[in-house]
Structure 1
Amino acid sequence: MPFHLHFDESDLLRVRFALSPLWETQEAVRTLNRPARHGYHLPWLRRIGQDAAGLDLTPLWLLMPDAGYNPDFICPPPLGPLATFAEEIAGVRATDPATARADIEAALADTPGGLRSDAGRRMLADPGRAVQQLADLLEQAWHVMVEPHWPRLRALLEADVAFHSRRLAEVGFERLLGDISPQLRWADSTLTVAGTRGNHSRVLGGQGLVLMPSVFAWPDVIGGYEAPWQPAVIYPARGIGGLWTEPGDRTPDALARLLGRSRADVLCALGEPAGTSTLAHRLSLAVSSVSEHLSVLRAAGLLTSRRYGHQVLYERTPLGIALAAQEA
């Protein structure tokens, strides 16, 4: 069923991109319990393995029905483009118990047996305690499942935002939506998100819209957030097919002989734009070594760079793309 967002002129001026480590955390929790989502993320699942098995995520899963309402308060839209997990989880802990109770009740009503379950009854009886319990579980999930991989995930998400920001400047909002997903349609100042749960319509009323790429939302496009939260559209980030591929698995031997193994690995690791520290973490190299390799590759015309937020992102030029695409 479709999700309709009705814009006026002021809303178009308030469209922004954002990243949310908290969103990725709760979607990682959901992905763990959704086998249909595992395809791209099997390497990640193997890595978190036993550590994730030690978490009791049942209370969170109880509020994540396959079809139906999911609580907004456990992952509110981020206030800025570079919000930290600590900032976001502090916002969850500050949720008003009455707001949380309404959210929890709506989610339990859409979960088979949710309202009759012991865990569901406990949450409804003491929503203030439930907020803290759910925040504790999200914090544990962050530390075990997402934080160790956050530099890699953040690089992919930032690259997506950089790409789509550039596309917005080049082609405008309507065509950008089509680039993001075929599930997004624009007509008569209304954005329709097809294939979402339920049939929902919301007038933005000057609040604007948050566009948020997600690694773990694949393959869904999610239109969400009831008032008082700002409306948002969450969509699968570009490049997740190669997210968990190790650079050494994709560096052609001929290119390694030409440039040297480490420098070739740096070039091939830039399937999506990334910064120096992210590449160093991904390749297990010193930041100083990666910085030197990036400078040489840029001087040779194989890379370009631009500033995004707190860091400089590097990406391959057409020549760099052609060299990295050679068969191993």
Structure 2
Amino acid sequence: MRYELAGMDLADVRFAVSPLNELVLSLRTWRDPGRYPLHLPWLRRTQEARSRLDGEMLLALTNEVLWTPDFLTPRPRSPLTRIDDELAAVAATGDDVVARELAALHSGGRPAPLRDPLPRVRRRALDALTAYWDSCFAPYWPRMRAVLQADVVHRGAVISARGAGAMFADLADRVSFADGVVSVQLGSSTKDLRRATTGEGLTLVPTLFTGGASAPISADEPPMIMYGARGTGTLWQAEQQVADDALVAVLGRARAGLLTALERPASSTELARRLDVTTSAVNQHLRVLRDVGLLTSARAGRSVLYLRSEVGDALVGPTR
């Protein structure tokens, strides 16, 4: 796939983050976990939750060579894309597109969950993906998003310091840039596809669930390149919160670490994942810290977010 940048104008290139792309691409780890060893800790942590999902439908949305249909990985618009907006876009996809891409995904015949009438298939797929997001992605998404957004910041810095060519060369081995043309080698196609980005731009999307790079396998799809994000290897490592010795002496190591970590809002579930401890243990410490006025809390949807209070800031601040 060759994308011709309009006049080599870098304003035509933008970065975006897609929650839905990550959700759908992660289905590859179900089929072949051995190819994604970095995500084994997450697969173990979500094993029980995944056993309660519509696994038959979810696994039907990928195939033996780990392809996924393009309509489930729409081009995101910004680094702040919301999962609800992307699912709404999928719900509005025309039946002809869904039918064509599912047939291409399973050229030997659709598996049972995809043989129902298309409106029912789409509804079941959306329900399955939503449940998958709620149980296995939402608790971890702040951590995932931080890695993806850090990659975007890094790529912007490379463009500023060394130019577009260096940035594209660093995306993946399959991506190259010369004479205003960005080329992506597609292992799934022997055709040489080419299209201009005029009026649409080229969107670069970092992902945690690929080690290389990919693009839509149709010149009719909006110009987009998905590539492996930097920092994926650190994603599931437990954070070590280093607190000042004096703070530890007053509060204990666990509570001092939590107070240090809560410079930005976080839920007890997110903190437990980041620190690799149980949610119940974190909740006990958070309640104590809140009761003595070192934390504030506020409900955000189905979660309660905690943040250091002014008193907590004053206690932590002088120790930095």
TM-score bucket (shorter structure): 0.7 to 0.9
Match of 2:224 in 1: 232
How far residue 151 of structure 1 moved from its aligned partner, in angstroms, is: 1.1
The answer to whether 1:210 aligns with 2:182 is no
Cα 1:174–1:155 change in 2 (3 A) is same
Answer yes or no: is 1:182 the counterpart of 2:192: no
Q: Distance in 2 between matches of 1:293 and 1:191?
A: 51
- CA shift in 2, pair 1:135/1:247, >3 Å: same
TM-score (norm 2): 0.75
**In the alignment, what sits opposite 2:278?**
none
Q: Per-residue deviation at 1:26?
A: 0.7
Q: Which residue of 2 aligns with 1:192?
A: 183
Q: 8 Å contact 1:12–1:208 — kept in the other structure? A: no
Say whether 1:292 aligns with 2:285.
no
The answer for the alignment partner of 2:41 in structure 1 is: 43
Distance 1:10 1:40 in 2: 36
Cα deviation code 1:151-173 (max 9, x no counterpart):
11111111111221222222221
Choose the corresponding residue for 1:96, options 94, 97, 101. Answer: 94
Deviations 1:66-98 (A, max 9, x none): 448631111211123311111110111111111
Tell me which of 137, 143, 149 is aligned to 1:146.
Answer: 137
Q: Decide whether aligned partners of structure 1 residues 293 and 239 sit closer, same or farther in structure 2, where only a CA change above 3 A counts.
A: farther
SS at match of 1:13: helix
Q: 1:236, CA displacement in angstroms?
A: 1.6
The verdict on how the C-alpha distance between 1:80 and 1:295 changes in structure 2, with shifts beyond 3 A counting, is farther
| Partner in structure 2 of residue 165 of structure 1 | 156
Unaligned runs of 5+ in 1: 301-328
- Hey, what does 2:264 align to over in structure 1? 276
* Unmatched tracts of structure 2, length 5 or more: 276-281, 287-305
Structure 2 residue identity aligned to 1:218: T
Letter in 1 for 2:183: T
Q: Using a 3 Å threshold, how does the CA distance of structure 1 residues 196 and 289 change in structure 2: closer, same or farther?
A: farther
Cα deviation, 1:141-191, whole Å, max 9, x if unaligned, reads: 111221111111111111111221222222221101122223321123322
Quick check: 2:5–2:12 contact (8 Å CA) kept in 1?
A: no
Task: Pick the aligned partner of 2:238 from 246, 249, 261.
Answer: 246
Give the drift of 1:22: 0.7
Kindly report the root-mean-square deviation, in angstroms, between the aligned alpha carbons of the 2 structures: 3.4
Identify the range of structure 1 (235-244 vs 188-197) with the bigger mean alpha-carbon deviation.
Answer: 188-197
Q: Which residue does 1:317 correspond to in 2? A: none
Tell whether the 8 Å contact from 1:161 to 1:213 is kept in structure 2 after alignment.
yes
| Identical-residue share of aligned pairs (%) | 30
Q: Take 2:28 and 2:234, find their aligned partners in 1: how far apart are those partners?
A: 21
How many Å separate the matches in 1 of 2:160 and 2:316?
28
Q: Which residue of 1 aligns with 2:12?
A: 14
CA–CA distance in structure 2, aligned partners of residues 131 and 244 of structure 1: 32
* 3-state SS, counterpart of residue 158 of structure 1: helix
Distance in structure 2 (CA, Å) of the matches to 1:72 and 1:187: 27
Task: Please say which structure displays the higher CA radius of gyration.
Answer: 2
Are the counterparts in 1 of residues 69 and 105 from structure 2 also a CA contact under 8 Å? yes
Pick the aligned partner of 1:114 from 104, 109, 123. Answer: 109
Contact 1:96 1:128 in 2 (8 A): no
Counterpart CA distance in 1 for 2:254 and 2:314 is 8
TM-score by length of 1: 0.73
